[in-house]
Structure 1
Amino acid sequence: MDANFRLKNQLMSSYSQDPGLGIGLAYFVGRDRYEEHIKRLLHEDDISTCVGFAALAKASTRFSRGLRYTGVGGLSCARSEMLMPTGVVNTEKGERYGNMDYCFASGLRVFTFIVALLVSYDIACQWFINLFTRMETVWPAHLKPSFPLNATNTSPAVGKFHEPAHKQEDHEEYSFNLIPGVGYTDGEGPERIWAGHNAVANATKPMGPGTRIDTLDDHFGFWNYQKYISFGKMLRTKYIKALAERNRQMEAHKGWSDRLPPELVSKWDKLCKAWEAAPFPKTEVENPYKIDNEFLGEEEVLKELELEDEERRTRSGEVSRNAVSVPSFIKLGLELEDTMRETRVLAKKSSPRGGQRQETELTAQRRALTEKLEVYERLRGVYMPGLLQLLVDLGEDVDGVSSNTLDPEEVKLWLPSDIPAARREEVCVVGLVEVEDKLRTAQLNDCIHNLRHTLRVKSHMVLFKNKNIVGQRPGLRSRAIIDRVFERAKNIANRYRVLREAKKRLVGSGAWEEILQELKNSDVHSYRDQERLPVNSGRRGTNEDTWEPEENPRPEREERNDGDGIDLWTEVRDIQRGAGHRVDRVATGETRRGNSWIWTSGLGISLQDGADDENEVCRAEWCRSRARAQRAKEEVMLLKEEMKRTGLYLEWKEKWWKERVGVRSAERDAPLCEGLDAYAYKKAEHERQLLHSFREEWSKSLSEGDLEEVLTWEEVSDEPGNDSEDESGEEGDEGSDYDEGNESEGTDGWDYDQMEE
């Protein structure tokens, strides 16, 4: 339900001079009863307290002077985006409750019974509060529905575009992303309907009242007809996208759930189900999506950073020269590898302007590193006796670190992973390769844990900054701390990449790569960050000098392995913009947001590291991930049901038109009756052809990306109730929403048919 304030009407002519041909017979409501209802509500106070929409605030200002109507309000189907019969009203003084109540009630009169009703309205959080009170006290008898309507079977919602503009305190119950059963419905269908009719605004504005209503009725009818004949292609296109999105969201959510403790997942799942089952308003149950204690203070984060810096500065790896074991030798080599990487970073940051302190720190670190390398070289001669001959064969330096002209951080360690696979047996003692492999794997898992922890700390610091930091000086201080936290995440990401490359050289490709995946720059983000999509080169704006292509178009963003390509997101929401360029973002928002594999793969997530007090942020994001998986699953089910019901309706409509043949008696006007019968046959044939084209469209092979499926008409037209997918998702814990045994031999490991059954 929504109003459009471009479809105005000036005070031209009158209903007595221009009464119209069929007011109340198509989309606009009947005039007499509607005007009588509005006259009784002239002093209604409708200004919203949740969000200051201009449509309400300007209801009685100069913007309505000289106008008979300031616009129209309409009721439409949120799924098909078709206007409802007798569901459009004229608005005299803005978007008042009296107008929209009449629009809502009149459109519902076409239904004989409704089991459950979801009402999407820009200000549903205000309009719905006293709806049932107004229904009893204000609505005329002919408007009251013939079926029960109450808070149990009726729910309010705010469209996905408008919902962020509202006050966000306890507003989750109005979000389409979190309401069960809606699929990918966004509640913004009326906006698209009005966008298609704004072009006639200037033409209808000076018309007489009757002519204007007849004209708009014709346009609304044509809009609905275009929707009607395009159901075949539209539903198939949506179905293709919904299948891929469902599989992606369910797989991502299952991966995340598998990383968390099962008892915690079960607890959170019960919270979600209790919240979804509660009637409006949901004040008696705990809100699983709300975050209260979401902050880490700056002092806590600073303390953690200082401890890390102190550990790096004071780390000493002086190894005992007696009885050093194989694991101790490899561990020393890996520690040296980390120390050399840190020294390179420190040397890169040092500059002539850095002062004596930086030079002293770098010199001290290089001296300690040189001493450790000398110890390592002596041990290497014991555990890698064939290395000297290999270095001679390769033409490498064999004099050792003491005589090396390179800085100590540039010396090659020659761990087993650095030796060609064909020469390892003759160079290394038995068991050396296996020990390095195990230690490398442990280091990789530690990197994932540390990266998760760091990103969670960064996410909490962002929340703290957004809510508590005001002013330039505190803002810069807070931003500097966030930068330090994220710099640590960059270093961990770089370390993970080096370790993974070393492991791959050591053991080659294998099943381990499915868990310890390649870490791209785009993977390094918290579960609070929006998924980052590639930035296109953009297009020129209307104020550019020429529309000719740029000589040097902006290159696409490339993945870099040095860490500089990792973006620091200082806001939870998506604030990334192209400087001087338009950014084209497709499929963004909460519905299609995805989490990086670092949250859905690998070992379990440690929630006892102090990064998330009481796990509130993790709980809220897990619940939202669950909601995304559920909405994606529902969308596939809804689309299949819509295809089935569209086919059944077309079959019924064809029969209905054939039953119209011969209704008129031929004795009165034979030529007229013959023409009416011909028209009925023509319409019946039209419905039959539509049904045939839709079935043919839906029976085509569905292929997009990794999808390979043939949706047969028999599958679409199954009897209602045969799809038990909805019931299966309501039993047990969250893991029941994902069928583990439904993996097939397909390209992406999913059996879509079984998942529907």
Structure 2
Amino acid sequence: MSKKRGRVDSGIPEISFSCKDENLLRIASVSTDRRRVRQRTIPFSPIPPSPVKSTTSAQLNNFVATTDFYGVNELEEDIREEDSGPQRSDTADNPLKDFVPRTMDYLLEMLRLEGHGSEERPCLCGAAEGVLYRCRDCSEGRVLCKSCTVSQHKSRPFHYIERWNGSFFERVTLKTLGLRIQLGHPSGHICSMPRQARAGFVVVDIDSTQEVDVYFCMCQHPDVVGEQWQQLMRFELFPATSIQPHTAFTFRLLRFFHTLTLQGKINIYDYYISIQNRTDGAGITAFKDRYEAFRRVMRQWRYLKLLKRAGVSNTPSRSLLDIKRGGLAPRCLACPIPGVNLPDDWMLIEPAKSYIYRKFISVDACFRLKRRLISSEKLDPGLATGLAYFVPQDEYHRFQKSTGEQKEDESCTGSDLAAIRQANTKFNKGYATTGVVLCVCARHEVVEPNSAVDLDKGEKYALTDYSVSASQSLSDNRLPRVLSYDIACQYHKKFFDRIPNLPESVRMETDSKKWTFAVPKLHIRGHGIQCQQSFSLHLTPGVGQCDCEGIERHWGDEGPIATSTREMGPGHRRDTIDDHFCSWSHRKRIGLGRLLAKRRKDAKKQAKIHADEFVKMCKFQGANVEEWTKMVTDWENGLTDENPYVKPDIGFTEDDVRYQFAQEEAEQARTGHPSVHDVSPSAFMYMALDLEEEQRVLTLDLANDGATTVLQKTEILTRRARIQRAIGRLRTIQKIYTPLALTASIPTNHDSTDIVEAERIDLMLPSGLPQALRSQPEMKTWVAMETKYRGGQLVSSAHEIRARLLVRRGLHQKRALDTRGQKDSRKARDTLAKNDQQMAQATAKFRAAWAAAKALHGGREDMVGYPYLKDSDIRMPEDPDLATTSNLRRMKGAKFQEQEKLLVPGESRKTTSWLWSSFDCSDASKAIYEATRLEWMKARARDLRWKEEVLLLEEEMRRVLVTLEYEAKEWLARVATEDLTGPLGEGVTAYALRQAAIRRGLAAKFRSMWEDDKPDKSHAMDGPPRSLGVDGDSDNDSDNE
């Protein structure tokens, strides 16, 4: 019996052989009963035979790592399939392998359809002669006679018809075959008084433009049959004009393009040209240009759909004058709306839980949505301006002119962000509008009605005030609010003094006690330490886990339409953007079921984890808990201005360096010397160093833990992809600031055949360049800047190492005195391990900064300011050796203090690590106290934020269901149409009933998802980067919202 291998138990070894694909290995084995042969294919990576192939492989690897679509999700699936998934056949794995040998067969089948057909088949009517016509749009594709072709297409008059001319098929229209379109009567009925439309009547369908023979009905009274444009509408043809129309567009075309442009952001011109190419790809036919008519009709269609979805036609007055400001914009289902989804006594809730009724708002500007100096408000005023998302224009333009030139405060340490500089930007030559300011619901990303305002010369505070006030004046002023803005640290100053300067029609009532200002979680990293301590959402009570970055995701979705909207007139542009905003909001509304279920599941898990961690820390701290709790709650409640999260001054740190550079750049901008890029020079350098830190942390994690499980491998791939994308962004800016670094040939430590992982890619900082390049004149400024930053890193990381050492000492003492049993020991070990991991990161950062500083100083260690950090330096001032420390940990009670005295070396032999030689250790217990207090307060903040998130999500789920039922009842109340009878009244009633059913259907679906606490898998994403059309999934009508 031969030796068994792997999972084969038949006694027959596995046989391996290579496939045609160089990267696959096929392994065959015989089953136990020796009746079946099992085959499995596994991927492997052979050693490239040449550097060229290695380079190609590396490029493909980088491409996968930097592409979102072929990103982590697919890589994760590959890992799962490789590890445990079902094995598939070669054809299933690579369908192209089956297709390639049959390419010519496929091609010949396509060419076969170019002919008349080898078999002489009679027509459906039995005729054997004149069987020359076929329809490309009908699935059968059978060749018919002229009479049958016309008869078959009376209800399909816009199909693509071809005629066999004896040699090949050529296109003809149904008009030339004698087909007439009779309006005003059911199909097959004869009109006694038809009137032919103007000669050359053109209909544009989803994929064709053709002339048709149209007849209007004149045998009945116009009140019954309708005017000409009405007869066209009832045939689902949208006329280009209402008076003597001679061009129309099918409803099918308008529905399809509307959905396509909302999802794919395709513009009208490109789609219209594609219709022409589909009609005649050879370019022989001379088309009558209907592009302008298509633009106009599509604009009318968007407007009518907006009115229809808002229920304007279902109101008793059916008057456009009765539409309120912002009344056409769908509202967020989960946000608090008194009188709709809040209890009657909502204001009586205890203050500790009042945050569940907070309204979260994010405001930001998008400078891609510009508009050139084309047309004017007089010539193109817009159809829905002021009724959906954009504010009424007349009053806004008067206010805009009154603001004049404004110089905004640039004193923020995070002024490397673009918003503050762009508040004072004047780069508007050739543009009537330089961008748009907008507010969205921060937790659910639904666009706030009447919040979009156009900018003229940057992101001025006064115009942002207008956006915030115009939108929030439409909601109850009693609601507490959180306003997030990437420059909230400066914007909040004098905010309540500026609001009274706004026009009365958009002026909101404000109470400073009900407003909280914050900086979004990603943007806060670009601010200085003071902003991070005062405006961080991590430390702000009552905000849960809201990141307030949703508006950036919204701008990412709307960015692609900027190319077309900047060439439009003012009104057309606003109507188009309104439509896209409405689509985004609708998709966010119907995605709330899956989104909230997913968030709640995660929040419950994280809340338990952080609650256990906080309880554990409280147990260790004992008597300090009460004092620290009072300290932080007094600050949160506004009883003291002393921020408990502020760290003590430790010297000139990284944040101090950033602040100094920010001040210098602000002064340069004031004197007319702004930076050449939105990312300032100091921000560019900080971005590179921050990216270097991510690489360093990933390298440490791989060295310590590795990646053995599928989840760990996936996490590593995710982090590498994120770093790879960040490096791509960094390289783009480097081309502007330090092109010399990119063009230089930098020697590496990697073999030419290696694939360099993301964490090992050289960032091309000045410290990493050869001395000959660093000495070039154009690098002088960057060398000086990095030198300052590295000095700050040395100060910060040295302080962090000392803090970690102090915390470790305190944890050891607590563990020795208080730990009982395995459970307590395990928790203590976990805490110590986490502290040691943070100390290892600080150590690696110090050593990297030291090496960089040494290189920048020409290799002179004496110029660095610190000696090299050895492992033996990382200790407390009087730390005993490791063996003695181990014995000390086992001591308890009074013996602990006695042994501690005996273990201290004599004064004459005592040596102190240089880490402490410049540090005031006179009161080491105070240093331990401060370091531990900060860690405890951060743990408390994490615990509270996750608990708040759970309560917020539960409340939002309740509000969603209540709001849907409220809206359903609103639609049912619109059913009554006493003044409308017949088909018109029936249509209005049916639409209201359908809308009510949709909302109750959504409520039932959401309730089922939330009761099971399982995410819905029917949608691939909560609110897609490219939002789907606002019109839902119906094929016949597109008003599911």
Spell out the pairing of 1:102-121 with structure 2 (5 A cutoff): 102-121=466-485
CA distance in 2, matches of 1:635, 1:197: 29
5+ unaligned residues in a row in structure 2: which ranges? 1-362, 654-786, 850-889, 898-920, 1017-1041
Structure 2 equivalent of residue 749 of structure 1 = none
Is structure 2 residue 448 aligned with structure 1 residue 84?
yes
Query: 5 Å matches for 1:415-454?
Result: none
- Say yes or no: does 1:2 pair with 2:364: yes
Q: 1:641 — aligned with what? A: 955
Q: Residue type of the partner of 1:686?
A: I
2:486 aligns to what? 122
Match of 2:642 among 286, 304, 312: 286
Asked whether 1:184 is paired with 2:498, we answer no
Residues 191-590 of structure 1 mapped to structure 2, 5 A cutoff: 191-260=552-621, 262-278=622-638, 284-292=640-648, 512-517=821-826, 524-526=833-835, 529=838, 569-571=843-845
Shift in Å at residue 17 of structure 1? 2.4
For 1:28-177, list aligned pairs within 5 A.
28-50=390-412, 51-58=415-422, 63-136=427-500, 138-146=501-509, 149-169=510-530, 171-177=532-538
Percent identity, aligned pairs only, is 32
Counterpart Cα distance in 2 of 1:179 and 1:488 = 28
- Structure-2 change in CA distance of 1:680 and 1:285 (3 Å): same
Instruction: Note closer, same or farther for the CA distance 1:524–1:608 as it changes in structure 2 (3 Å cut).
Output: farther
Any conservation in 1 of the 2:380–2:572 contact (CA below 8 Å)?
yes
Q: Is the 8 A contact 1:28 1:87 kept in 2?
A: yes
The one-letter amino acid paired with 1:207 is M
**2:978 paired residue number:** 665
The alignment's TM-score, normalised by the length of structure 1, stands at 0.53
Secondary structure (helix, strand or coil) at the match of 2:438 reads strand
Separation in structure 1 between the aligned mates of residue 407 and residue 795 of structure 2, nearest angstrom: 47
C-alpha separation in 1, matches of 2:476 and 2:652: 55
User: What's the counterpart of residue 438 of structure 1?
Assistant: none
Could you give the per-residue CA deviations for residues 436-486 of structure 1, whole angstroms, max 9, x where no partner exists?
A: xxxxxxxxxxxxxxxxxxxxxxxxxxxxxxxxx969899889989999999
* Preserved CA contact (<8 Å) 1:159 1:186: yes
* Conservation of the 8 A alpha-carbon contact between 1:2 and 1:74: yes
Aligned-partner SS, 1:33: helix
Question: Contact 1:294/1:616 (CA < 8 Å) preserved in 2?
Answer: no
In the alignment, the residues of structure 2 paired with residue 474 and residue 202 of structure 1 have an alpha-carbon distance, to the nearest angstrom, of 43
How far does the alpha carbon of each residue in 1:687-729 deviate from its partner, in whole angstroms, 9 at most, with x for none? 011011001100115599xxxxxxxxxxxxxxxxxxxxxxxxx
Q: Which runs of 5+ in 1 are unaligned?
A: 298-468, 501-509, 531-565, 576-601, 705-757
Secondary structure, aligned partner of 1:2: strand
CA contact (8 A) 2:426 2:458 kept: no
- Structure (1 or 2) with the larger CA radius of gyration: 2
**Equivalents in 2 of 1:481, 1:634: separation in Å?**
33
CA 1:120–1:518: 2 relative to 1, 3 Å: closer
- Offset, 1:49: 1.9
Task: State the one-letter code of the partner of 1:201.
Answer: A
The 1:702/1:490 distance shift into structure 2, 3 A limit, reads: same
Contact 2:652/2:795, CA 8 A, preserved across alignment: no
1:19 aligns with: 381
Q: Distance in 1 between matches of 2:805 and 2:633?
A: 39
Instruction: Compute the displacement of 1:18 (Å).
Output: 2.0
Please say if residues 807 and 932 of structure 2, whose CA atoms lie closer than 8 Å, have aligned partners that are also in contact: no
Once the two structures are TM-superposed, the CA of residue 567 in structure 1 deviates from its matched residue by 5.7
- Residue of structure 2 equivalent to 1:678: 990
CA contact (8 A) 1:527 1:621 kept: no
Could you tell me how far apart the structure 1 residues matched to 2:481 and 2:789 are? 47
Deviations 1:133-152 (A, max 9, x none): 1123x222222224xx2322
Instruction: Identify if the C-alpha distance between structure 1 residues 19 and 486 changes in structure 2 by more than 3 Å, giving closer, same or farther.
Output: closer
C-alpha distance after superposition, 1:564-620 (max 9, x if no partner): xx6664459x99xxxxxxxxxxxxxxxxxxxxxxxxxx9999999826527222212
Asked if 2 retains the 8 angstrom alpha-carbon contact of 1:296 and 1:611, the reply is: no
Counterpart Cα distance in 2 of 1:46 and 1:182: 28
Closer/same/farther in 2, CA of residues 79 and 102 from structure 1, 3 Å limit: same
CA contact (8 A) 1:661 1:677 kept: yes
Question: What is the Cα deviation at residue 70 of structure 1?
Answer: 0.9
CA change 1:183–1:19 in 2 (3 A) is: same
Pick from 932, 943, 946 the counterpart of residue 632 of structure 1: 946
Q: 1:487 to 1:166 in 2, by over 3 A?
A: closer
Instruction: State the aligned residue count.
Output: 449
Whole-angstrom distance in 2 between the partners of 1:188 and 1:687: 28
Asked which structure has the greater RCO (Cα within 8 Å, sep 6+), the reply is 1
Relative to structure 1, the CA distance from residue 568 to residue 140 in structure 2 (aligned partners, 3 Å threshold; closer, same or farther) is closer
Match for 1:695: what amino acid?
A: R
Distance 1:527-1:269 versus aligned 2 partners, 3 A rule: farther
Helix, strand or coil at the partner of 1:517 = helix
**Equivalent residue number for residue 1019 of structure 2:** none
Contact 1:76/1:82 (<8 A) preserved = yes
Range with bigger deviation, 615-624 or 35-44: 615-624
Listed one character per residue, the Cα deviations across residues 405-435 of structure 1 (whole Å, up to 9, x for unaligned) are xxxxxxxxxxxxxxxxxxxxxxxxxxxxxxx
Other-structure match for 1:401: none
Deviation of 1:285 (Å): 3.1
Deviation at 1:487, TM superposition (A): 11
Q: Is the 8 A contact 1:294 1:613 kept in 2?
A: no
**SS of aligned partner of 2:835:** coil
The question of whether the paired residues in 2 share the 8 Å contact of 1:5 and 1:55 is answered with no
Contact 1:486 1:568 in 2 (8 A): no
SS at match of 2:573: helix
Q: Distance in 1 between matches of 2:821 and 2:922?
A: 26
Secondary structure at 1:290 match in 2 = coil
Per the alignment, residue 713 of structure 2 pairs with none
Provide, for residues 140-199 of structure 1, a one-character-per-residue CA deviation record: whole Å limited to 9, x for no partner.
Answer: 2222224xx232221211111112322323652311111111000112121111111112
The residue identity in structure 1 corresponding to 2:565 is: T
The amino acid that maps onto 2:978 is S
Q: In the alignment, what sits opposite 2:272?
A: none
CA offset at residue 59 of structure 1? 5.1
**Which whole-Å CA distance do the structure 1 matches of 2:599 and 2:518 have between them?**
22
1:403 — aligned with what? none
Counterparts of 1:91 and 1:117, CA distance in 2: 25
Q: What secondary structure is seen at the aligned counterpart in 2 of 1:134?
A: helix
Distance 2:637 2:964 in 1: 35
Aligned partner of residue 530 in structure 2, secondary structure: coil
Q: 1:108 to 1:492 in 2, by over 3 A?
A: closer
Task: Give the match for residue 559 of structure 1.
Answer: none
Per-residue CA distance 1:507-547 (angstroms, 9 max, x = gap): xxx983322229989963439949xxxxxxxxxxxxxxxxx
CA RMSD of superposed structures (Å): 4.2
